[in-house]
Amino acid sequence: MDHLDISYFEDLYKKYYADLCTYALKYVKSNNLAEDIVSETFFKIWESKEKVKSISNIKGYLFKSVYNNCLYFLRTKESHPTIGDYDFSLLDTAAIPYKDALDTMMLNELAEYLEKAISKLPSQQQKVFRMKRFENKKNSEIAEELNLSVKTVEMHMTNASKHLKEDLKFILPSFIITFLLSGM
């Protein structure tokens, strides 16, 4: 890997990342999605870095690439799963028939990080989060079982989401955090 390649890429990233996120936000209406789309765009550029060096208007190329990625996302968003579609019991690696031991190891590590982050939450937030995400209970069921108001359950989920996103942001890419925690 050439030092100039890395330096050039870092310069592009520093110079255009924030503007590209703002641009993507106009289309996808979500900061997390905009960041994911821009990150994916930079990843694709890195993969084809030899081609990119020959582009005369790199700024125009970046914005057009982000635009195309936004359109692609908007066309295919129906096929993107939401948190309600995801079964957190899949984090139990015994239930997943992975052929590759590395995949299982990575999934175990992900589950471990998630569990550590959850264990840092206040006790009541932990209970509410686990009931909502792992037991798939409705807010009203959680409220009744824990003798809380539905608004309190919603507040606990919102606060848990904020804390977990903060705890996991250095470990997981934002698109995974968004996937795991969106809709709280």
Among 42-51, 56-65, 71-80, 167-176, the range scoring the smallest mean pLDDT is 167-176
Question: Does residue 21 register a pLDDT over 70?
Answer: yes
DSSP 36-79: HHHHHHHHHHHHTHHHHHT-S-HHHHHHHHHHHHHHHHHHHGGG
pLDDT at 147: 94
**CB of 20 closer than 8 Å to CB of 60:** no
| 73 and 111 belong to one structural domain | no
Among 6-15, 27-36, 96-105, 169-178, the range scoring the smallest mean pLDDT is 96-105
- Of 59, 79, 99, the last residue of a domain is 79
Among 35-39, 65-69, 78-82, 119-123, the range scoring the smallest mean pLDDT is 78-82
Domain of residue 132, residue span: 83-181
| 31 and 54 belong to one structural domain | yes
Mean of pLDDT values over 32-48: 83
Domain count, the chain: 2
- CATH number of the domain bearing residue 66: 1.10.1740
Three-state SS for 113-176 is HHHHHHHCCCHHHHHHHHHHHCCCCCHHHHHHHHCCCHHHHHHHHHHHHHHHHHHHCCCCCHHH
Q: What is the pLDDT of residues 98-156, one digit of tens each?
A: 445 545 566 667 777 788 888 999 999 999 998 988 888 899 999 999 999 989 998 99
Residue 173 pLDDT grade (very low, low, confident, very high; cuts 50, 70, 90) = low
Q: How far apart are CA 88 and CA 83, in angstroms?
A: 9
- CATH number of the domain bearing residue 150: 1.10.10.10
pLDDT at 161: 82
| 109 and 74 belong to one structural domain | no
- Of 79, 113, 134, the last residue of a domain is 79
pLDDT at 180: 53
